[in-house]
Structure 1
Amino acid sequence: MPIAKIESLDHEGHGVAHVDGKTIFIDGALTGETIEYSSYRKKPSFENAQSIRVLKASSQRVNPKCQHFGVCGGCSMQHLEPSAQVAAKQRVLEDNLRHIGKVKAERILPAIYGPSWGYRHRARLSARMVEKKGGMLVGFHEKRSSFIADMTKCEILPPHVSALLVPLRGLIASLSISRRMPQIELAVGDNVTALVLRNMDPITEEDEQKLAEFAAAHSKPHPIQFWLQPKGPDTVFPLVPADAPRLTYSMPEFAIEMPYKPTEFTQVNPQINQVMVRRAIDLLDPQPGESIADMFCGLGNFTLPIARRGAQVLGMEGSKQLCERAVENATHNGLQDKTKFTEANLFEMTEEGFAGLGDFDRMLIDPPRDGAMELVKSIGLALKRRPDALKRIVYVSCNPATLARDASVLVNVHGYKLKAAGIINMFPHTAHVESIAWFERDPHFVPKAPEAEDETSNEATE
């Protein structure tokens, strides 16, 4: 069995070693460790491998809490002490900013982190009848596999949801559509837990009765409501019990309650979301009467807290359904006069299109993993027309590579300073890195020569 000395962790949390001139990425290995490994993928310049035995352990190694660690495909960093996980993610962010964006934050923000267990209030569970494993399985996929892990509990789900995994096996196995119901989507709100069954065939009256009995039997400490999804996400509807509380999450600091459907995007970690919104608002520092843009606004997670500070906010989002939900949420919270929501494809934004939206004092950007390249490129004309426009931009990111790429445009093309950046540990025990960055317009900025801009742009998109 080959042996390797682990030199560092990569951006996905794999141990990195070099053996005979080849880079080896090793699952389950930590910096400073000496391990035996077995390769499962070999390429001319690198290999992917699995740690087989730890010969010399890191002082930061801990015993994984979950009994399914190593089999289930989630939570790949449970063997690393939680504070070390945060530090590793911070290094990923700084490395991406430096190598991809050619930028450096003037200040590193304290990491946003919270409970490491029971935090996941959104999840998508798979369901499948597997006779060789004793019947119906409900859970996440196995590591590097399409098979479903044989799970009896999950440490990152809220305890009352984890306790449902085994009972759900029996329930689904008893339904007439047990082989035609491949997925359960979970959404835990303040007052109810919604379970969305992806029913590829209609259910029977007997099925509905079984669902009602299950919901009644497991109504403590959190009521359960079953929803059905016969086709796409927009076809979901609540089934039983019909009188369950409305699915909502709240942000008490801003006196805001957000109703939503279980298939609509919300953050998986509500406690971290509270702190993240507070951090974003503090950095953006919206003032009464200012005009502020909230790009990729979703159902208004940042829009409404900004409006609560007295600013006028335009929220833009590519999903018509989320725009409609945002309008409803603004009205629900009495902020309809402070907000406006517009459906738009922000991945195709142009300079003329952005300038046509009007003048903005500040902007918040919260894009998906693809980032916001066309949007950040499009602000140039607005800045030329009004030099004091967009004096501050706060960027919330779920992909440090695209944040770094977009930061390069903001800093090197548009003349912003990267005042501060830091991570948001939205997904403990995973390698997923969320972050937040604060950009301030530099009044003394001198544009680089075109050749230098092109070179930076090319490298940032590699």
Structure 2
Amino acid sequence: MARHRQRLDPDFEIAIDDLSHDGRGVGRREGKAVFVSGALPGERVRARQTAKNRHFDEAVAFEVIEASPDRVAPRCAHFGTCGGCALQHLDEAKQIEAKARVLAENLARIGHVEPREWFAPIRDAQWGYRRKGRLSVRWVEKKGKALVGFREQDPRFVADLSECHTVIPALGRRIPALSALVESLDGRRTIPQIEFIAGDGALDGGTPREGGVLALVFRHLEPLSDGDRERLLAFARREAVAVFLQPGGIDSVVPLWPEQVDLHFDLGAADIGADVGVRLQFRPLDFIQVNAGLNRQMIARAIDLLQPAPGDRVLDLFCGLGNFTLPIARRGFEVVGVEGDAGLVARARQNAEANGLPNARFFAADLTKDLAGEPWLRDGFDRLLLDPPRAGAAEVLAQLPLKAIPRIVYVSCHPGSLARDAGFLVKERGYTLLGAGVMDMFPHTAHVESIAVFERR
């Protein structure tokens, strides 16, 4: 049977009443909700329908008839096409207010809880902050051009970027050079992505320079020719960036140039409230928090909310490289960090040893599975810190001996899973939600990062 293309309505005018969780304006047309990209609450726009669904429609605004006083001119010429940002057209102060509303609505609607106190938002650099991410790559045969950038709002396509203002400047200004580099390669059809990560270190063991070191990981689906390796090597030396090759999975990553790269980030003594700071070494594909300045403030806020007392033992779940674990240990507390990625656990242990912190111990465990046999779970803890992925921490919270833990700090990258877990802690485990607030880890995007603190009643 032939498949007919969905018939879309002609362009239409619509009033926008709200902002959705993904940064689109929300209006109603003939009683049906319409999500409109590029529109803000309080505006009237002309929109073009892009999708029709049973319960809602989708559209994109192409003309603003009545503008919101909160509308600003986007800094980036690619805004509206590139899917990397959703809120550049909204005043920065209003962006964080919108994220705070998303958190409050999720806590109320999903968790049926409200904090006693709303914390002031944590904010840092609004531009040039992103030090880790993935650029998609696509060779367009008809145009004879390589596209290097984030996915478009329509994720089937790669945005043709000439600049990016949210990534660190060392990467943002090199995007055209990366496109030209890929175009010059024999294997340009077989390179799907370039991952980037930046640290405070230096190339080839040299003196750390301002802005640190930028590492690029080129994923290639077929072996590279000798000529391609030479072109990548020349680019690395000319641009003074570290280049890695990834022919297969995560464990296949190898350096092209230089052979030794010092990738680390420092947390100063003042950042963590200690006499001495800590240094965390990482590998090119390891997870680190993308916003360095916000991360330092987040760690300070988490430790302050945790309120560990002398002699307390702290459990840090989903600990990664030890982003929270090591600063807490530097403050003199005994800390156990647990993480599902065995590679991250190995490097966390190396970081603890390198920083002289025997009071920080690390274990590898899948925190979504049965933990009955885990030795660390039999230890007693006085404080709990969680920084789970988007899915949240429901499985591990159901297994922990929470009656013995009077205080919990929960760092969240998804307000829906935080709300669900907050409802569990309050309704079923006897905790009070003392406070919650948002952290602007990803300015100009709709991503909502938050922190909450719970205390046993």
TM-score calculated relative to the size of structure 2: 0.91
Say which of 434, 437, 455 aligns to 1:422. 437
Partner of 1:195: 216
SS in structure 1 at match of 2:243: strand
Say which of 105, 122, 125 aligns to 2:115. 105
Pairwise CA distance, 1:289: 2.5
1:247 equivalent to 2:253? Answer: no
Say which of 175, 182, 192 aligns to 2:192. 182
CA distance in 2, matches of 1:290, 1:232: 40
CA distance in 2, matches of 1:170, 1:20: 49
C-alpha distance 355-308 of structure 1, shift in aligned 2 (>3 A): closer
1:346 equivalent to 2:367? Answer: yes
Partner of 1:360: 381
Pairwise CA distance, 1:13: 1.3
Tell me the percent identity. 45
Letter in structure 1 aligned against 2:426: V
1:29 equivalent to 2:35? Answer: no
Alignment of 1:126-145 (within 5 A): 126-145=136-155
Pairwise CA distance, 1:136: 1.5
- Structure 1 residues 136-162: Cα deviation after superposition (integer angstroms, max 9, x where no partner): 221112211322111111111122211
Query: Contact 1:297–1:315 (CA<8 Å) still a contact in 2?
Result: yes
Pairwise CA distance, 1:275: 0.7
CA distance in 1, matches of 2:309, 2:323: 18
- Structure 1 residues 158-178: Cα deviation after superposition (integer angstroms, max 9, x where no partner): 222112111112222222322
1:158 equivalent to 2:168? Answer: yes
Say which of 324, 327, 349 aligns to 1:305. 327
C-alpha distance 345-243 of structure 1, shift in aligned 2 (>3 A): closer
Query: Contact 1:288–1:309 (CA<8 Å) still a contact in 2?
Result: no
Letter in structure 1 aligned against 2:419: A
Partner of 1:237: 254
CA distance in 2, matches of 1:267, 1:432: 13
Partner of 1:455: none
Pairwise CA distance, 1:53: 1.2
Query: Contact 1:101–1:405 (CA<8 Å) still a contact in 2?
Result: yes
Partner of 2:228: 207
Query: Contact 1:286–1:309 (CA<8 Å) still a contact in 2?
Result: no
CA distance in 1, matches of 2:324, 2:366: 19
SS in structure 2 at match of 1:148: coil
Question: After alignment, is 61-70 or 195-204 more displaced?
Answer: 195-204
Pairwise CA distance, 1:212: 2.4
- Structure 1 residues 84-110: Cα deviation after superposition (integer angstroms, max 9, x where no partner): 000000000001001110100110111
Partner of 1:268: 290
Say which of 316, 323, 342 aligns to 1:320. 342
SS in structure 2 at match of 1:52: strand
Alignment of 1:438-453 (within 5 A): 438-442=453-457
1:124 equivalent to 2:134? Answer: yes
1:42 equivalent to 2:42? Answer: no
CA distance in 2, matches of 1:121, 1:67: 21
CA distance in 2, matches of 1:213, 1:352: 52
Alignment of 1:64-75 (within 5 A): 64-75=74-85
SS in structure 1 at match of 2:311: coil
SS in structure 2 at match of 1:242: coil
TM-score calculated relative to the size of structure 1: 0.90
CA distance in 1, matches of 2:111, 2:96: 21
Letter in structure 2 aligned against 1:281: I
Partner of 1:459: none
CA distance in 1, matches of 2:57, 2:74: 25
- Structure 1 residues 261-303: Cα deviation after superposition (integer angstroms, max 9, x where no partner): 1101111111111111111111112233211100011111011
CA distance in 2, matches of 1:168, 1:318: 34
- Structure 1 residues 408-438: Cα deviation after superposition (integer angstroms, max 9, x where no partner): 0111111111111000111111111010000
Pairwise CA distance, 1:37: 1.4
C-alpha distance 137-43 of structure 1, shift in aligned 2 (>3 A): closer
Pairwise CA distance, 1:354: 9.0
Question: After alignment, is 325-334 or 174-183 more displaced?
Answer: 174-183
Gaps of 5+ in 1: 443-462
Say which of 416, 425, 440 aligns to 1:410. 425
Partner of 1:9: 19
Pairwise CA distance, 1:25: 1.2
CA distance in 2, matches of 1:353, 1:261: 27
Aligned length: 430
SS in structure 2 at match of 1:147: coil
Say which of 45, 56, 69 aligns to 1:59. 69
Say which of 383, 396, 399 aligns to 1:375. 396
Pairwise CA distance, 1:28: 1.0
Partner of 2:413: 398
Partner of 1:445: none
C-alpha distance 355-136 of structure 1, shift in aligned 2 (>3 A): closer
- Structure 1 residues 215-237: Cα deviation after superposition (integer angstroms, max 9, x where no partner): 22212xxxx11011111112212
C-alpha distance 311-366 of structure 1, shift in aligned 2 (>3 A): same
Partner of 2:90: 80
Pairwise CA distance, 1:352: 8.1
